Amino acid sequence: MIKNAWAYVTRKKLKSLIMISVIAIMSTLGVLGLALKDATDLSSKKSLGNITNSFSMEINRQYNPGTPRGGGNVKGQDISQIAQCKEIDSYVKRINSVADLVDYDIVETPETLAYQSPERAKNFKSTVMLTGVNDSSKENKFVSGAYKLVEGEHLKAGDRNKILMHKDLALKNHLKVGDHLKIKSNLYDADNEKQADEIVEVEIKGLFDGHNKGGASAPQELYENTLISDVHSAAQVYGETEKTAVYQDATFFVKGQYDLKQVIKVLEKLDIDWRNYVLINGASNYPALQMSISSLYGMADKLFYGALIFAGIVVALLLMLWLNARKKEIAIMLSLGMTKMRIFGQLMTELVWMMIPSYLIAYFVSGALAQSFGHTILNGVTGDITKKLASQGVSSQLGAGAEVDGFNKTLTSLNVHVSSDMMFIVIGFMTVVLIMALVISSFRILKNKEESLIYTR
């Protein structure tokens, strides 16, 4: 049986080559689908690892308009209530304020200079955005990758009069880690409701890098013109303290043993006016990232299952055509006393002889193509998402800056590789599909007697 099957496969070279090519191509696509899914798993865990078991407390803009400038006005005591719950592991609270550099210059571009009115140039000529935070390593712009610490240390709870500065702003003003500078209140800032006129001396604890993904119409939208400070300093420029200040938002990290949804239900029973706030799943702050991950998972599933289905249909059709041409050969085998099961065994052996080189080809080809294939798929997915978000941004008039760029963050790389486990999975599924295709295609022939096979055309 084995020799006869081998003789047929080697004698009918063209037919065998067509079958081997179909199985090899479909197996390659199946393996690449599994490799893409595995790479997406790893990338999603790396990208979402710090945020999947967290939630943010933000203002409910349908009921609470926020500060005069439209920022958040989350109360510090409400943040403290949630932070003291046993389910909360840690938290990050942020103050967004505005301050002027004393005796130093901000970064400008031709675009920001072109859009400035004389009045704005006068009132905000040295103005920077100030983000006060109790743990900068978990601040949204660092978590999203928009900012990256390149020198020094992150800010942590207990820091006072410390800042992180963009390296380009430091370079322009000949500043370095450890240097001291002064910032002061801006009297023209709408959120400076007390008209505070404070001067705060701060020390540079670290430098970060990162650049705008899109254009900026105002210098304060540039990454370079944002300082990350401790909470006390950001509150002081508005004449407030850490306790009396209002916060842009707060992010809470839930202990691993607690379910996020159940924790949120428990927190909603606290003595807090929830009309003013909404609680948002941490991953929801990165919709573009979720979209890119979901799209890659969808693409991987389509490749794997599509390859199996297509292989089953094509191989079944080819086998039907070829077995139809072998009716007389099968009739002679039956007349010589061969059982139908033995004939099916030979057909199965022929298929196995063609599957072996197909799977070997698929393994080596998929291994060679995996990384470039993943890169191409990722570029296509992120390109489509970027275009969609750009059109949404124009229609909704979203601004620029690191917050928006973090919101639009997508996967930037995939480490796609093929393992033997993936190949074995494809071999298992593909072999079952091919056997089913053989059973379906051979049933119509083998159910007949030899006489009818001889005389049917």
DSSP code string of 58-110: EE-TTT---STTS---EEHHHHHHHHTSTTEEEEEEEEEEEEEESS------H
Instruction: State the pLDDT at residue 101.
Output: 95
Q: In the predicted model, is pLDDT for residue 292 greater than 80?
A: no
Mean pLDDT of 337-361: 82
Q: Which tens digits make up the pLDDT trace of 365-423?
A: 999 988 888 888 888 877 777 677 656 554 444 445 555 555 556 666 778 888 889 99
Mean pLDDT of 113-133: 89
State the Cα–Cα distance between residues 401 and 399, nearest whole angstrom.
7
Q: Which helix (H) or strand (E) holds 181?
A: strand 180-185
Q: How confident is the model at residue 99 (pLDDT cuts 50, 70, 90)?
A: very high
Structure tokens of 393?
């941004």
Q: How confident is the model at residue 141 (pLDDT cuts 50, 70, 90)?
A: confident
Mean pLDDT of 429-449: 77
Share of the chain above pLDDT 70, in %: 82
Instruction: State the pLDDT at residue 144.
Output: 76
Q: In the predicted model, is pLDDT for residue 75 greater than 90?
A: yes
Closest among 99, 100, 125 to 112, alpha carbons compared? 125
For residue 414, the 8-state DSSP code is -
Structure tokens of 297?
């998972």
Phi (first) and psi of residue 279, to 5 degrees: -105, 125
Structure tokens of 85?
């719950």
Would you say the C-alpha torsion 408, 155, 190, 118 has a positive or negative sign? negative
Q: Rounded to the nearest 5 degrees, what angle is found at the Cα of 395, between the Cα atoms of 394 and 400?
A: 35
Cα–Cα separations (whole angstroms), residue 212 to 108, 164, 215: 13, 18, 7
Cα–Cα separations (whole angstroms), residue 243 to 48, 91, 388: 31, 16, 41
Mark 325-361 as b/e (b = at least 16 C-beta within 10 Å).
Answer: ebbeebbebbeeebeeeebbebbbbbbebbbeebbeb
pTM for this model (two decimals):
0.64
